[in-house]
Structure 1
Amino acid sequence: MKFFQKQRLFILLIGIIILVVLIGYSLQDRENETMVEQFIKDTVGWAQNIIHTPVDYVTGIFQNIDDIRNTYDENKILREKVAEYKSLQYEVQELEEENNELRETLDKTESIRDYNPIQATVMSRSPERWIEQVTINKGTQHGVRENMAVITADGLIGKVEAESKLTSTVKLLTGFDQFNRISATISREEGDDISGMIEGYDQESDHLLFRIIEESGDDLEEGELVLSSGMGGVFPAGLPIGEVQEVKPDQYGLTRTAFVEPVADMYDINNVIVVERQQTDDSDSGESEEDES
């Protein structure tokens, strides 16, 4: 029994000695490796490659997923920024347009100092009477009265048809007919002025109808400016109405009618001025208002 124990101990010591010798031998600087070392290295390298390849593939998949998620988040943020920028751009553009319109309206107010201008804003436009009337935010409390002229920075757009304490309804020139007439004139530096009446609106051609009541209208030319004459005693004189586009005689050749394109945009109305004509003497107040009723 002791013999076998001594024999195992001896074998163990021999194995340790051989292992130490092999380790020392492997640590020496040698140009060529043994077949055993090469086999072990190749085996370890092959095993590492087998394990590393799928690990790298799976890791790459998760990395790509993270990149896609980050890209999506970044694109979402960028889209929000772009949308915000566009919104601000549109808002600035609208503010610039509104500012320009208000400046033009203010300039127009200053150019009619002989009258009492009342600044107003369009509150609504009736869908069923889109081309005929709008509602403004000024009424009798602000000095607005029936039949007062209503203009924009470009020119005349209509008159006050009905008023309440805080609001008023404006009848647009596009809704005028023979019962809503305006005394008008074409003022010339050379030659006689041409007088007439705005007596309606032709919806087919989108032009006002200016009936000439004087024979001097034979030489009427395209592009001449039609102004309010102030003859009715309600509308101030000199308010731009439109430009002559075409002149046609009636079927009997007795009168001539000019087709006038309004100078103001009847479909884009935001800020307006209600114009109250100042009465300077008793003769003005006694004039007939039939023409502009």
Structure 2
Amino acid sequence: MSSRTAARIAVLMGGRSAEREVSLVSGRECAAALREEGYEVIEVDAGPDLASVLISEKPDVAFNALHGRWGEDGCVQGLLEWLRIPYTHSGVLASALAMDKARAKEVFAAAGLPVAEGRLCCKAEVRSSHPIAPPYVVKPVNEGSSVGVYLVQECANGPALIADDMPERLLVEQYIPGRELTTAVMGGRAMAVTDIIADGWYDYHAKYSAGGSRHVVPAEIPEEITAACLDYALRAHDALGCRGVSRTDFRWDESRGLSGLYLLETNTQPGMTPTSLAPEQAAARGMSFGDLVRWMVEDASCDR
């Protein structure tokens, strides 16, 4: 589908997850770019009436700019399948698998990809004692954007002092020191490797606050590590059954060479502003933000 068909695009954004504000930014940027490409665009803040809004508006394609629970965990994908509205990004199963960090780790390990050691724990266990030897990371099983992530240092006197609103199921993983790398996959091709440089822990603040981090793309790393990131990201994308654009994050302990590279997770709904990581990698390959969102609309589908 192209802009010449004057397609009507519903950009889904906002929602009710912990990543609502990030999604609104992504959605507005995508909506503006799609209008520039000649599409008729409806901006939809996804709420409980989403199905009735979509039935009323009759879009040709849903551009999914939602982040977090309900938007990238298979829920809205199932609704769009039911309504037979083609949509961007991954389908129901891939979205659900990628959002469940524990299940995704099992898929990655079965595909021979390097993942950090870890285990599922209940909240009470994490609060009462060290579930594994520190340093380690505690994170919700089904959130993104580093929401609710705790780093327990090696010198910690006690377990993580996690907030009361943390979910009951938590993933505890070995902390991998070193550099934060990421690779986006688009249409079955890994695009580039970005080195994410932050002053300290790459948490929610570092991701979304002005000056919280900077991106070096392509990353200035050994060719062996670049090749491995590109290979692992594509294999992770395929193992989960993703389509469209995904982004896979890594930690690399450079003192250990290739054996120090670990796959953290795959994001099926990566941030979508012109300065977000996946669009930056597309730009590095000569693709404008408008070109990228147009490609995503043309790639939209159901049933795959």
Could you say whether these structures have the same fold, taking a TM-score greater than 0.5 normalized by the shorter chain as the test? no
Structure 2 length normalisation: TM-score? 0.26
Bigger-Rg structure (1/2): 1
Structure 1 length normalisation: TM-score? 0.27
More helix as a share of residues: 1
Higher relative contact order (CA 8 A, sep 6+): 2
